[in-house]
Amino acid sequence: MAIAMDLASVTSIWLAALFTIWAYSYTFRDNVWFKFAEHIYVGAAAGNLIVLGIDNVIRYGWLPLTKGSMLYIVVFLLGILLYSRYHGKYFWISRFPLALMVGIGIGLSMRSTVTSEFIAQIQSTVTMKVLGVADPWTAFSNLVFIIITLCVVYFFVFTFPGIHKGNLGIISKIARYSMMAAFGYSFANGFLSRVTMIFGRLDFLKSQWLPLPGAMVALPIVLVLLVYAMLPAEKRPWPKPTKSK
C-alpha cells in the first residue's frame, strides 16, 4: 500500500501524524512542540478559510454576475459596505448591510421557530400518555418525564420565593437532582464524542502512518523529543536557561 502512494500523500500523512502527536501532547504538559503545532494550525486554518471564502465569492457571486445576473451588483456593493466599519468616519455605513443580514436571518428563523421549538415540543409533552399504554416501561418512562418536566418548570418560577421553601421544597429538590442527572448525561455524551475523535486520530496513526517506511523508527524519536520538551527548563541538560538580571 505504502509503495503505491505518491510523494504528496506520504508527505501529508507524515505531517498529519506529527501534528496529531504534537497537538495531543498538551494533555500531558505544555511544550514547545504543541505551541509549534498550534501556531501552524491556526495559520493554516485561516489560510484555508480565506481560499475557500474567495472561491465561494467567485463561484456564487462573480460567475453569475459575469453571466448577466446584474442583481449581484447590489450584493457585492452590500458586501463591500461591510468593510466600512474599519473606517473611522464612515463606519456607520456598515450598519445597513448588517441590519439587512440580521433582518433576513431573524425573519427566516422566526417563520418556523414558534412551530418547531415551542408548539411541537409542548404538544409532544402534553400528549404523552401514561394510561392505556401497552408497554408498562413506556408508561413508567412517560410518567417520570411528566413529573420531571413539571418539577423543573416549577424550579424556575422565581417570582414567589416562598414556594421553594418548607414542604414544597421537595419539588425543587427533585428538579435539581433531575437536572444534575441531565447534566451527567450531557457530560457522558461529551466525553464519548471526544473519545471517538481521539480514536479517529489514533486509528489514523496506527493504520496509515505506522505502516509507512521509517515511521516505526520515527515514533520513539518523536516521543523522546516530546518528553524532553516537557521537562522543566532547569532540568534540561541543554539548552541552559538564561538567568534574568
Partner 1 sequence: MSKQEKNIWEKLENLPREFLYGLLLIAFIVPMINPMGLPLPVTPEVKKWYDTIEALPSGAAIIIDQGYSGGGEPECGPFAVAVYHHIFRKGGLRVIGVATTQEGPLLWDKAMAEVNPEKYGRKYGVDYIMLGYFAGVETAMAALGKDLRALTSTDYKGASLDQYPVMQGIKGATTVNLLICYTTGGDQSEGWVRQWYTPYKTPYLCNVLALMMPTMLPYMKAGQIVSLTSGAQAGQMESLVKVPARGIAGADVMTFTEILVSAFVVVGNIAYFGRRASKKKA
Residues at the interface with partner 1 (CB under 8 A): 27-29, 49, 52-53, 56, 59-60, 104-105, 108-109, 111-113, 115-117, 120-121, 123-124, 182, 185-186, 188-204, 206
C-alpha span between 117 and 111 (Å, rounded):
11
CA dihedral 176→177→179→180, nearest 10 degrees, is 120
The type of residue at 157 is V
Name the minimum Å distance from CB 171 to partner 1.
Answer: 22
Alpha-helical runs (H) found in 58-130: 63-66, 72-82, 95-113, 120-126
Which 8-state DSSP code applies to residue 243?
P
Q: Which of 191, 178, 182, 106 is nearest to 148 (CA)?
A: 178
For the chain, give the number of residues.
Answer: 245
By C-beta, is 28 or 96 nearer to partner 1? 28
Locate 169 and state its grid cell.
421544597
By C-beta, is 96 or 145 nearer to partner 1? 145
By C-beta, is 153 or 170 nearer to partner 1? 153
CA distances from residue 117 to 70, 109, 122 in whole angstroms, order as listed: 38, 11, 8
C-alpha span between 177 and 170 (Å, rounded):
11
C-alpha span between 149 and 175 (Å, rounded):
8
| HEC secondary structure over 143-155 | HHHHHHHHHHHHH
